[in-house]
Structure 1
């Protein structure tokens, strides 16, 4: 067949289009999920800019079921195209606030489905978009990178996701139940992580037979999230704190499944591990927490040289109850904030919001999102900023067991104001606006009737609901007193709670 000039032109044009399509496919951009109008505004315009940047940046890392792994978002080093157990656990609530519930559930399920005896009851530390273990961390089932707190971190945050979403699959999915059970039994025993064994275990337990010929050696089983240090690390305090949190979380999950006998069993295990943490990791002579135990029998404390302090995990895993110890650590982190890496800084703002240092927390968030921050693009940073502002500054949290949410203003000054709109939680979307610390309005934007636990800082005999004087309850958590009452909000219903009728 003779090819005319016109035919040649169209063939050339078709080739260009095809090559262009291949080029675009190879560069494959993230797909952005519609958040349904999540918006934050406040009297602090720098904070507004930080939230806007974090929201857009985080969503640029979200992928909507176009890859073999399914719904996922980046939760590892930038451009690695993967998600890591620690990072996903820490980013999950921020992701939920951004509307990435399908992504969270899929990624948690992937970790659960890949736990196995052949990997010594580990999962894949990092999974990529192709539904494979990320090659940078994995050679084969006997040779891979793994931080041992990861199984407990995933378990703890699966329960947090249930509380936020009400998704009972986090309680009942067989693959997830298998992961929780293996992690809190076989995994603990196999790696000798319980308080009765952990001080006597072999640091290179289950390392490859010829570690000198392997890629990762005894990095297959690091007993802490601290990957640096100044010698052979035997144990980190985060290992103990994560186990406490996982036992508590699974005890609560079992309670929701009406298995009260097993729930009691795990609650007792949590109590035992908490006692070990309180006794072993607290130095009574120095009156401070130890953070890392080394092979030579020495400890790190808050900071040693350029090593990072890993005591923030006591807050993150809710494993510290003593008010004086809390305040001491908060002060240390405030003083040393500038010396810390982004991954660690990303845990801190909510700690400051919850401990009456809102101005410092605001500065931290603005710093984390600043163009001057060379590592602000780290995915963990943007996702956690969303959580810090929503749960920290706005004091919003959800509890599926009561089909409700709570709010508590942590604004710094009485003339400050802040509002966040269209926050997805449970089966609803809600909006909350704080006027200083004396007045809050909540709106059940979408979804069925939901309980609002409206908290106002300070001790008040009465609060005013839409101007009507109402008896309230006072609670003191040691560091802060607040007054609260419950209101049922129907779909599209608004209510205002204030300390005075004129507020």
Structure 2
């Protein structure tokens, strides 16, 4: 058959149409893959709803690399399009669990890169999406808002991120090392924050020369995260707790980097600051902690008004070790938590989980995520709910130094169950399911062999591993005694640890 130019044209046109049709069909039905997104399910459906809301709300605050600041998520008051040092530090583990590791590292690096002598070794308290100090908090290098615990909080939280992720950049990045060392030396000296000077320092150090024309005055160096109260805050207990935590954190980082002698020096500084905290802040006569020292010499204790219960920072910075004092504070928060603002409430559920009050912690998380909570949209709320459920209810902890993770069921009743899948930690993706307080299944979904330490509540002579009776170790010196053993999980492997032989 003779092929004319006209027929050739129509054949080519038909071929183009067919190819185009195939392409459109492929686009309509993309290949379905497992995205690996974090999942949580339990016998408490209200808790499931809270998790779902918190996950999607937190992820809605995450921004990709299109903005000048790079990867970032919102960590400030809603709609500021910015992230501040306190909020990022508090949201970071929740963000990491949600897969926002690039965002975390970029934001911590931004804080580190903006520390300067001109700002008296402060960084920018709040950075916006345009990679600039947020105008609401910053006028110039001599006039800006700054809460002094921030440098220590960032240092402490960077170490926590290393433990969770195994990302050695948190230990070895030159900009971060510079930030840690300036913060724990020049910054401490410049602001007279060491325990040998802090009670005699001026509250108005390094204020702008022309104070009358200053926007922020002595808010350039607030010695606490407390921003209200009954007068001029001279010092907050969170200031002392944060410096203890930062010294310990950097001592651990130095040890991991092999600098044992310098690590010991920082650990000694942490010990001295801990002694100051224990002696100055604890009122032996009244048998309770003070929380804020004012310019008239008076103290706040647990609570004066809805935003003055600043003793939760003792838990957050791991600066309280006495079990009786811990339980006393837990009881105070249990009685009064409903009076607190969302920012403070967002620190509490894990405290309740870790001290035998899981039912209260569950109710609190449900309340924090409820539409009836008019301030639930604060970014800090949704990010920290993810951490509370992961580290609190499920008891998951990662330790990069041992290439392992821990699980500990904090379910309230034996008939309850809860599972969390696709949890990123170290170089792995893991899943864990608890059945009450007597059985746990762990799954190394993806990644190299990892050590799982299964902690089972209660004291047991032995545990069963995949049905085999196995010796275990008992830990009694803790608010919640437990038995534990360790198992190496290869990629794709699951294991079951229980108190009885499972059918």
Same fold? TM cut 0.5: yes
Q: Which residue is equivalent to 2:298?
A: 298
Q: Which residue is equivalent to 2:70?
A: 70
Question: Separation in 2 of the partners of 1:392 and 1:238?
Answer: 22
Q: Which residue is equivalent to 1:308?
A: 308
Residue deviations 1:10-68 (CA, integer Å, cap 9, x gap): xxxxxxxxxxxxxxxxxxxxxxxx97221000000000000000000000000011100
Q: Which residue is equivalent to 2:112?
A: 112
Give the deviation of 1:356 after TM superposition.
0.2
Question: Separation in 2 of the partners of 1:430 and 1:305?
Answer: 43
Give the deviation of 1:478 after TM superposition.
2.6
Give the deviation of 1:480 after TM superposition.
1.4
Poorly superposed stretches of 4+, deviation over 3 Å: none
Residue deviations 1:128-178 (CA, integer Å, cap 9, x gap): 000000000000000000000000000000000000000000000000000
Other structure's SS at 1:245 match: helix
Question: Separation in 1 of the partners of 2:326 and 2:125?
Answer: 31
User: What pairs up with 1:101-250 in 2 under 5 angstroms?
Assistant: 101-250=101-250
Question: Separation in 2 of the partners of 1:175 and 1:416?
Answer: 47
Other structure's SS at 2:83 match: strand
Q: Which residue is equivalent to 1:426?
A: 426
Question: Separation in 1 of the partners of 2:180 and 2:49?
Answer: 39
RMSD: 0.9
**Gaps (5+ residues) in structure 2?**
1-33
Other structure's SS at 2:50 match: helix
User: What pairs up with 1:95-106 in 2 under 5 angstroms?
Assistant: 95-106=95-106
- So what's the TM-score if we normalise by structure 2? 0.93
Question: 8 Å contact 2:149–2:238 — kept in the other structure?
Answer: yes
Other structure's SS at 2:107 match: helix
1:479 and 2:471 aligned: no
Q: Which residue is equivalent to 1:438?
A: 438
Q: Which residue is equivalent to 1:347?
A: 347
Question: 8 Å contact 1:404–1:450 — kept in the other structure?
Answer: yes
Q: Which residue is equivalent to 2:367?
A: 367
Give the deviation of 1:477 after TM superposition.
3.5
Q: Which residue is equivalent to 1:26?
A: none
Question: Separation in 2 of the partners of 1:89 and 1:104?
Answer: 9
Q: Which residue is equivalent to 1:501?
A: 501
User: What pairs up with 1:299-338 in 2 under 5 angstroms?
Assistant: 299-338=299-338
Residue deviations 1:293-348 (CA, integer Å, cap 9, x gap): 00111100001134421000000000000111101110110111110000000000
Question: 8 Å contact 1:35–1:99 — kept in the other structure?
Answer: no
Question: 8 Å contact 1:440–1:497 — kept in the other structure?
Answer: yes
Q: Which residue is equivalent to 1:84?
A: 84
Question: Separation in 1 of the partners of 2:439 and 2:298?
Answer: 51
Tell me the matched-pair count. 470
Question: 8 Å contact 1:405–1:452 — kept in the other structure?
Answer: yes
Other structure's SS at 1:147 match: coil
Question: Separation in 2 of the partners of 1:296 and 1:337?
Answer: 28
Other structure's SS at 1:470 match: strand
- So what's the TM-score if we normalise by structure 1? 0.93
**Gaps (5+ residues) in structure 1?**
1-33
User: What pairs up with 1:10-29 in 2 under 5 angstroms?
Assistant: none
Give the deviation of 1:473 after TM superposition.
0.8
Q: Which residue is equivalent to 1:21?
A: none
Question: Separation in 1 of the partners of 2:211 and 2:252?
Answer: 40
1:253 and 2:253 aligned: yes
Question: 8 Å contact 1:35–1:98 — kept in the other structure?
Answer: no
Question: 8 Å contact 2:37–2:98 — kept in the other structure?
Answer: no
Question: Separation in 1 of the partners of 2:419 and 2:453?
Answer: 17
Question: Separation in 2 of the partners of 1:391 and 1:250?
Answer: 23
